[in-house]
Amino acid sequence: MSGRYDSLFRQSIDDPNAFWGAAAEDIHWFKRWDRVLDADAPPFSRWFVGGETNTAYNALDRHVAAGRGGQIALIYDSPVTNMVQRFTYAELLAQVAAFAGALKAQGVGKGDRVILYMPMIPQAVIAMLAVVRLGAIHSVVFGGFAANELATRIDDARPKLIVSASCGIEGQRIIAYKPLLDAAIARAAHKPERCIIFQRPMEKAALTAGRDLDWDEAVAGAAPAECVPVLATDPSYILYTSGTTGIPKGVVRDTGGHLVALRWTMEHLYGLKPGEVWWTASDVGWVVGHSYIVYAPLLYGLTTILYEGKPVGTPDAGAFWRVIAEHGAVSMFTAPTAFRAIRKEDPEGRLMARHDLSKFRALFLAGERCDPNTLEWAEDKLKVPVIDHWWQTETGFPISANCLGIERFSVKPGSATKPVPGWDVQVVDAKAKPVKPGEIGALVMKLPLPPGSLQTLWQNDAGFKKSYMTDYPGFYKTGDAGYIDADGYVFVMSRTDDIINVAGHRLSTGAMEEILANHPDVAECAVIGVADPLKGQLPLGLMVLKAGVSRSSQEIAGEVVQMVRDAIGPVAAFKTALVVERLPKTRSGKILRGTMQKIADGETYRPPATIDDPAILGEIGDRLKGAGYPRKE
């Protein structure tokens, strides 16, 4: 018998106007839309055409007007500064309106761009909401990004103003932002008219006369600003994601569709109720931070946690459990990498046992594929549903998930469960022809895309079509490979270009990683395809061992090689696994498999701007060189 999920999913695909029109009733509109969906000019689509709304009004003002101004909206928890601050909806609204007034006094208005280069502090959230309050467009750049990367974003977005802070904190290190900002502006062809700098007590920045303003002084001299209605189809923000050419792509999010989709997910996907405490352990510089630290929780009337710390080291691997218990979080969202780090340091979960997690009822993981071993460890220790879900910067909200607010399905380790309503996920071959259930191919989404997804690339419609809409006509190209099984479960195995070709056999590195991760001594791992003169490519495993493992690396490597042979067979040609101290990752926790592959093949590579610690690449290079890579005829 068909359940509630099947009914909602079918309606979302067969009658998106009715489905999303109903969802839009939960958003405040200054002017109601004339048309729910305009898909008359594919591959572009526009949602809630003619409607007028404002993101900040929906996130703050409407809750205060409804009498909920005394509810806590934001909890700032910073173990690196030993500080916890709480802001009610009324208090957050007052601070946002005040800073919006400061921006308005500097000439920022509807349609202007404002770059935010901020650490994980309340002022980052306040600045984001203040920009959209004015109908302007923000572009948040991860705090501490290299000057050159920031400069490319300045030149692309051409901001009227930049908001930054004097410094950020990475673990125990203080990172001075102002010298990086000054260097980026010096390099950029476009020069912002003003910069507003929030001075943190641990590092005071020197201000540039005539250009820079102190945050507190700017706010003190300005009148609070009211919300500016904007069209639903107007951009709300630009968020840059790395392109295959090394040139960042500015993903453009609309306003109306963004509000409708995010508010809908908090209720139907995450299964929360207004007033509950929600925690997303990410950064406002990433799409996860935009969607699920700031906008979605506030749109839905939750209490959201802003965490300035790490899963381990601030102070230990019990940091997450302390935050959950202290603030009464009912659910959290983080990357699998965070849990692998916790499992490595505290495999028995002893630190978890010190905290009262009785209110906690679900863990959501995304950012990269969650290996079954990590998922099962989290399930075993937490005794709550652990939900792996799949999405991208471009999509804005999850593509595939176990929608707890609709109908909970049984978990299949390695799968992100079923498509979220609105996403028509299909698996196709190189000619865009459907493949059989269980067969690996390119994961694509049939157009039109749901509200909240990217509308285009900033000032680059041609690049939008070329990057996402050309290879598989009529579909959005995710760049991910995987399969959908007979039950409709989506398995994301790897990036499309991470499918390796071993003597004509197409093999998934993700399937091999699952096997390595099942070894009891392996904390985390990656499998890459390296060039081989005979077979084209061969898989190579890289493993980080759990703390306290004393067995020899060679013995463990031999065991995982045999495990892959037993599970996949000789066709995998998996013969080499190396133990490394750590794996290179982005700041959001994604393992840099493509970069490691280039190192192993002796190719020139450019360290991604998002890398957490560039020194790791040298360590990996030395380890690979010692093992005889690159291997050539």
Task: Note the pLDDT tens digit of each residue in 24-63.
Answer: 999 999 999 999 999 999 999 999 999 999 999 999 999 9
Backbone CA torsion sign across 152, 459, 96, 366: negative
- Domains defined along the chain, listed by start: 503-626 (3.30.300.30)
Report residue 79's pLDDT band, with 50, 70 and 90 as the boundaries.
Answer: very high
Question: Cα(first)–Cα(last) distance of the chain, in Å?
Answer: 60
Q: What is the pLDDT of residues 404-432, one digit of tens each?
A: 999 999 999 889 999 999 999 999 998 99
Residue 43 · residue 469 · CB < 8 Å: yes
Report residue 253's pLDDT band, with 50, 70 and 90 as the boundaries.
Answer: very high
Residue, of 505 and 194, whose pLDDT is higher: 194
- Given a cut of 90, whether residue 170 has pLDDT beyond it is no
Q: What is the mean pLDDT of the chain?
A: 93
Six token digits for residue 564: 């892959």
Q: What is the pLDDT of residues 516-575, one digit of tens each?
A: 999 999 999 999 999 887 777 899 999 999 999 999 999 999 999 999 988 777 778 899
What pLDDT score was predicted for residue 244?
Answer: 46
Give the list of residues 6+ apart from residue 6 with CB closer than 8 angstroms, or none. none
Q: What is the pLDDT of residues 429-454, one digit of tens each?
A: 989 999 999 999 999 999 999 999 99
What pLDDT score was predicted for residue 1?
Answer: 35
Q: What is the pLDDT of residues 486-502, one digit of tens each?
A: 999 999 987 776 677 77
What pLDDT score was predicted for residue 242?
Answer: 64
What pLDDT score was predicted for residue 245?
Answer: 46
Residue 115 · residue 127 · CB < 8 Å: no
- Given a cut of 70, whether residue 328 has pLDDT beyond it is yes
Single pTM value for the model: 0.86
Residue, of 243 and 357, whose pLDDT is higher: 357
What pLDDT score was predicted for residue 594?
Answer: 86
DSSP state of 208: P
Contacts 24+ apart (CB under 8 A), 463-466: 463/249, 464/43, 465/43
**For the residues 313-333, what does the mean pLDDT come to?**
96
